[in-house]
Every structure is written in C-alpha cells, then in structure tokens.
Structure 1
Amino acid sequence: MTDYIKLIDAETWAFIERTNSYYPPDTIDYTIAQQREIYDRMCREFFAGYPEGVAVETSAIATPTHDIPIRIYRSTLQAAVTVLYVHGGGFILGGLDSHDDVCAELCSRTGYEVVSVDYRLAPEHLHPAAFDDAMSAFEWAAANRDHPIVLCGDSAGGNLCAAVSHATRGHSKRPVGQVLIYPGLGGNRSKGSYVKHAEAPMLTVRDLEFYKHIRTGGQDRSGDATLGPLADTDFSNLPPTVLITAECDPLSSDGETYRDLIITAGGHATWFEEPGLVHGYLRARHTVGRARTSFTRIVGAVTALGQGGWRW
C-alpha cells in the first residue's frame, strides 16, 4: 500500500482535509444533483477572486442545436494568442464558475485571451456531447481569431483538449500547442499509477469507473479516441504538448504514456509529474507551495507554446 504520509506534505494534507470538508470522498454515492450542489459550493469556497486588470465577458457560441456558454477573459496587457480552456469535473460537474478564478489568473499571468467553455454534461448529455462542444468551441475560435490558439484543460478538460487535438490535425488552423493538467486519457488501468494510486486521496479508481460509466451511459466505447485519446492508433502530427500530472493520482501514468507515444511518432511532448501532489491541486495554488510552483509551470508552458517556443 502506498504510504501517503511520507509522500504528501503538511500543506497538501491541509488542502485535502479542507476539500473533504466541503466535498466528502463518498460524494459519488449521492445523486448527480447533490454532487453538483456539493461541488459548486466547494468551488465557491475556494474562489480566489480576479487579478487586477482582467476584464470578463460571458457570451455563447451558437450551434444548430444549442448554445454553448463561454466566458472570455482579457488582460490590459493582452497579447495576440487565445487559450481555449476546458474545465474538469468528471464530465458531470463544473462550468463557467468552477474554474473562473483559474482562467482569470491564467489570463493575467500570460497576457493571453482565455476562453472558458461550458460544454454539456452527462448524464443528461452522453458522450460524444462534451467532445462535440469542445470541437465546436475550437471551430468558433479558429473562425473568429486570426492568431494562435493554445488548448489547456484539467482532468476531464485535459481529455477533451487532447481529443480535439487528435481530431483537428487536418484543420487549416490547428492548435499551436496543448497543456494538459492531470488529464484522464483512457490509459491501461491494470498497471502503473492506476494500481499504485488506486486509493489516492482526492481521486480513486472507483471514482474513475463511475465517471466513465456516467459519461457513456454504460456502453462499451473501447477504441473510441474521442472518448480516450490513448485509444488512437496514430500519434503523429499532434501539436507540441506539455503534460503536468500529480504523483498521488491514479491518472499520472496517462501523462507519461501519452508523452512517449507522441515522441515515438516524431512529435514534441514533455511530461512533468509533480511530486507529492494530488488530483485537483489547482485549487491549492495559493496555499500549497508545490501547487504554486506547478501553476507557475503551467503558466510558463501556456506562454511558451503561444509564442511558438518550448525547450524540448
């Protein structure tokens, strides 16, 4: 059994305990409506406000069947790059408010425009609804912005960003880079971090199975790269990729595997495993030293990819 007492420092334990006080580990046993209420309350408790100099506009992307809410963040020092941000939440939780302050800070620190996407959630909207909305958001950005687009997302959002990258390789204006933060990419659950960290604080393999079942309606979607990008058979011509994972997270191995497949296919990818951190640590970026350092790494990666450069 993994000894988390040794791996996780006191600051991170305090973050875990605070999170559990708002969002108990057994929350997946509640109804979806209850889970969303609990999650939204937790996000409000962790909300850190907006940095000075960030202007925010809430809008929507019109599609033939529905509108996709978006929130646009602009800085007074804005550079000509758009970051398309796709939030986490197991494909059933979250929205424009859950990652509001993260997007505002990303905008402030990079100077880039950030567009947050409120994709449709399961179980009301099963796969591929979330992927379709992420694709529609990219198509909108490509049509309405004449400057580079960087994809960035955490957890479920990292999954969707990677799926969009795979699907847009033939696009005339494909993403110039992607930053995937503790993404779930559909890796092999019989080895690596899925075994070593199956019972990690903040996220367990049981949680992952629940989210996958809800997202697919229980259907077997093996081999569907829009569901799990690691199911793809071609990893060539993907945008430069930076993967940032938490050591104490069953999803960590997905970052390593994805990096290796991109490099083997001749592409550029870098993987950072943040020592002693847990899934969801973005909310700890102001209270945990390791998380603060990692968020600076994320900002640096987004900035570098937007400028067309990274030290590979």
Structure 2
Amino acid sequence: MGVNTNTWISKEFPLRPSPYDTLLDDETWRFIDISVAFYPEDATSLDHAGQRRVYDDLCKAFDAGRPSGVSVRDYSIPGPAAPIPLREYMPASGKPQACVLYLHGGGFVLGGLDSHDSICAEICDGTGYAVIAVDYRLAPEHLHPAQFDDALAAFRHVAETYDLPVVLSGDSAGGNLAAAVAWATRGEAWAPAGQVLIYPALGAETTKGSFVSHAHAPMLTTEDMIYYDNLRSGGRSPVDDPAFTPLAATEFAGLPPTLVFTAECDPLSGDGPDYCARLTKAGGNAVCFEEKGLVHGYLRARHSVTRARDSFARMVRGIKSLGAGDWPY
C-alpha cells in the first residue's frame, strides 16, 4: 500500500516513536525517511489522483531496472468489464517450467504495471519462471469486486494459456487478491500450484492484535487500512465475503501450499500467522515468515536494506520451490 502520511507528515506523533527507534536499524530508517520525503506537507488532503502521482514517483525512485536478458511483452485479455492489461516477463534461459501471476500492492487504489516492474523482472530472473503482472482496475472508480474479478480472470487466462504450474503472488493489496483467487479456484482443474503472499491484507479485525500494537507503524497505519477498505467498498465493506476478506472464509481445505511473509513493524503482521494457522488446521501446507525489523512496503528496500534483501531472496526461493512442486518447509 502507500506510505502513510498520518504519522509522518501531520506530526501528530513523534518522528521516531518508541518502540520503532530500537526495532528498526539505520538502513530501514533511511528507507523510511527517503519514502516520506516524497509526500508534500498537504499530503493528507490529496485526492486519489494526487496520491497516485506521488506513489508513482516514489516507486520510480526505488526502481532498480530489469536484469539483463529478461524480455518483456505487454498485451491485454478480455475482462469482465474491460480489457485487462498484462505484462509478461520471460527469462533469458530457455522455456520456463512454471508461471508466476503477480498482483501489485497499493491499497487497491495505487500502482500498476510500472510500479512493480523491476520486482517482477527480478522474480523472473531469480526463478527462471515466466511472470505475468496484472493491471487490475483500481478503486474508487471501480468498487469491489472489480479488482477480484480482474485478478480471477487473469489467473484463469494464464493457467489455461501457458499450460504451466502457476504460483500466485502479490504484496499488500495484491496479497489479498492472490489469496482470494486461491480460495475461489480451490478444487478446479486449473488450481494454482502455490501462493506466496507478501505482507498481505487478509482482513483480520482492526480493533485487536497487531492492528492495535502497530496502529501507528511507519509506512502504514491502521487508520490507513480502514481508509483503503472504505475506498474499495464505497464505505460498505462486506463482513462475510472471502473475495474481499480472505480470512472471512469458513472453509480453508483445498488451498494450495502457501508462504506468507510479514513485516514485524506493520499493522498487518497478525494477518499472516492467523491465515497460515487456518490452512494447516484444514490439512494444508502453510508457513509464515515474520521478517524482523522491517516495515510495510519493504520490497522497495530490497537493494538498500540488508534485511529486505535477505527476505526477498527467501521469497524468490519459495516461489521457485512451489513452482517445481517442492515443499522444503
């Protein structure tokens, strides 16, 4: 999702509130400081179009470029309401043995194919798999279930067209969509081979747990989460719809092998363990990695923060294992 401005721009809270002054190292603080610097003093009054401009500039600043040899092709497929733009990344080394369907973060309001371009290219290069990024419709112009509908249509297209095992992956809002697609396709012929969810928003109760203990975390606050949910739903968030809230599902059997990566200093950090516990209770394979001393959005810090770099390497190894049908956990 986007960098929060409530804590860091409004000055309502100290610039480095306890306990984050001890939990976060200097590299991570530098990442936070650089990120926050992109937001103007009036950031809290920006409309969604203004937020998108700032977010796009932020993503460009951290863009690492594509590894050499990765080829890219943009194309569109028919969608439920309009064509869905996709971006295909192909590895330099031969025919891929699996595909990754990547769903970007940004609170369902921000981001697109360019915001996560180098992330997808590096996943492609590191796994040797094809990666397909999805430019799903954004809120508030398109309310739920538009984002889910596009993600599901893209998954079914990729699974049928590429005829390869497909690993679902996404960060933040994209992790929510990946989990929702995995739930919707369980038991189908084209079910995913696995899912790797990165600090996903899975819909835990915002009045307890990490939503309280990390309510004012750097980069994302609980208030931000509620704001994005309201934009996505038009102010009427459903309470029992697994396509909106994956943790609202009553049945977790039949879901694919799952890896979840959470950031310790993030209100969403409690969603991952809860989700994995429900999968394992239903007989599935699921592991949650809580990445210590990291914050929401740390994928952008994978080239500047050692902890983020190590976490991204674990993600790439996990995606490669799931695409190959291995479970080394």
TM-score, scaled to structure 2: 0.93
What residue in structure 2 maps to residue 55 of structure 1?
Answer: 71
Q: Is the 8 A contact 1:28 1:207 kept in 2?
A: no
What is the alpha-carbon distance in structure 1 between the residues aligned to residue 39 and residue 261 of structure 2? 24
Q: Is the 8 A contact 1:2 1:196 kept in 2?
A: no
1:190 aligns to what SS in structure 2?
coil
What residue in structure 2 maps to residue 36 of structure 1?
Answer: 52
Gaps in structure 1 of 5+ consecutive residues: none
1:160 aligns to what SS in structure 2?
helix
Does 2:30 align with 1:5?
no
What is the alpha-carbon distance in structure 2 between the residues aligned to residue 80 and residue 271 of structure 1? 25
What residue in structure 1 maps to residue 36 of structure 2?
Answer: 20
What residue in structure 1 maps to residue 226 of structure 2?
Answer: 209
Aligned length: 312
What residue in structure 2 maps to residue 151 of structure 1?
Answer: 168
What residue in structure 2 maps to residue 229 of structure 1?
Answer: 246
What residue in structure 2 maps to residue 71 of structure 1?
Answer: 87
What residue in structure 2 maps to residue 297 of structure 1?
Answer: 314
Deviations 1:243-264 (A, max 9, x none): 0000000000000100100011
Distance 1:27 1:170, change over 3 A: farther
Deviations 1:181-200 (A, max 9, x none): 00000002222211110000
Shift of 1:48: 0.7
2:72 aligns to what SS in structure 1?
strand
Shift of 1:311: 1.9
Deviations 1:75-128 (A, max 9, x none): 112422010000000000000000000000000010000000000000000000
Paired residue for 2:276, among 252, 259, 267? 259
What residue in structure 1 maps to residue 100 of structure 2?
Answer: 83
**CA RMSD for the aligned pairs?**
1.3
What is the alpha-carbon distance in structure 1 between the residues aligned to residue 63 and residue 124 of structure 2? 16
What is the alpha-carbon distance in structure 2 between the residues aligned to residue 272 and residue 244 of structure 1? 5
1:22 aligns to what SS in structure 2?
coil
What residue in structure 1 maps to residue 122 of structure 2?
Answer: 105
What is the alpha-carbon distance in structure 1 between the residues aligned to residue 270 and residue 131 of structure 2? 28
What residue in structure 1 maps to residue 11 of structure 2?
Answer: none
Q: Is the 8 A contact 1:25 1:202 kept in 2?
A: no
Q: Which one-letter code corresponds to 1:44 in the other structure?
A: K
Q: Is the 8 A contact 1:152 1:178 kept in 2?
A: yes
Q: Which one-letter code corresponds to 1:265 in the other structure?
A: A
Q: Which one-letter code corresponds to 1:68 in the other structure?
A: I
Distance 1:28 1:301, change over 3 A: farther
What residue in structure 1 maps to residue 8 of structure 2?
Answer: none
Shift of 1:28: 4.8
Gaps in structure 2 of 5+ consecutive residues: 1-16
Does 2:212 align with 1:195?
yes
Identity of aligned residues (%): 54
Detail structure 1 runs of 4+ shifted over 4 Å in the superposition: none
Q: Which one-letter code corresponds to 1:70 in the other structure?
A: L
Distance 1:155 1:220, change over 3 A: closer
What is the alpha-carbon distance in structure 1 between the residues aligned to residue 253 and residue 39 of structure 2? 40
TM-score, scaled to structure 1: 0.98
What residue in structure 1 maps to residue 12 of structure 2?
Answer: none
